[in-house]
Amino acid sequence: MNTGFIASDQIGEYVTERSVNAQDILAMAKQLIQRKYQKGRVITSPQEAAEYFPFKLSELEHETFWVMFLSNSHRVLAFEKMFVGTVNQSAVYPREVVKRSLQLNASALIFAHNHPSGNETPSRADIEITQKLKSALSLIDITVLDHFVVAGDTATSMADLGHC
């Protein structure tokens, strides 16, 4: 895409070859966000990852469950949609999360799923699956750093609420 608008991760490094409009700026912002969380980037805190989740999940019409797989130095190995559900629930299978974590040689994980309803409060089912995942993953020395519920442009940390 050649928008005539070039931006880098460095402050002040924005170049325009022509006048840009809001759509050009949004397109470049999406590219920058995508680049920020690509494979190999270091995530310094779960909150840093949470900034990305609304961008990726907020507009989805069905509940989806995503996993950010991290190395022992918290480099992003992958960010993948693992499960798709209906408008208000998604089945999550710990066996599949464990399997993929081992394939990627992950040491830590951050979960995220969306609530298309716009309700940012974790459900009882959200809390229970988080505990099941933590238990299964702890057996193979993989740490669950957080689980975020995305509702609109908000990502609610289940760890901050004491559920992770």
pLDDT digits (tens, 9 = 90+) for 58-75: 777 889 999 999 999 999
Q: What is the rounded CA–CA span in Å between residue 17 and residue 3?
A: 9
pLDDT at 147: 96
- Average pLDDT by consecutive 10-residue portion of the chain (164 residues)? 57 68 72 64 82 80 92 94 81 96 98 91 95 97 96 92 91
pLDDT of residue 121: 94
Which of 126, 112, 124 is CA-nearest to residue 58? 112
3-state secondary structure of 62: coil
Q: In 51-150, which residue ranges form alpha helices assigned H by DSSP?
A: 53-57, 94-104, 124-138
- What is the reported pLDDT for 100? 98
Residue 146 has what DSSP assignment? E
- pLDDT for the residue 113: 94
Residues 13-43: pLDDT tens digits? 666 677 777 777 767 766 666 666 566 778 8
In the numeric block, which tokens belong to residue 94?
């710990």
Q: For position 1, what pLDDT does the model report?
A: 47
Query: Which 8-state DSSP code applies to residue 142?
Result: -
Question: Residue 114 in 3-state DSSP?
Answer: strand
Cβ neighbours of residue 125 closer than 8 Å, sequence gap 6 or more? 89
Topology annotation, domain 46-157? Cytidine Deaminase; domain 2 (3.40.140)
What's the angle, vertex CA 148, arms to CA 48 and CA 156, rounded to 5?
A: 85
Alpha-carbon distance 82 to 19, whole Å?
Answer: 40
Q: Read off the amino acid at residue 81.
A: K
Task: Report domain extents, the chain.
Answer: 5-36, 46-157
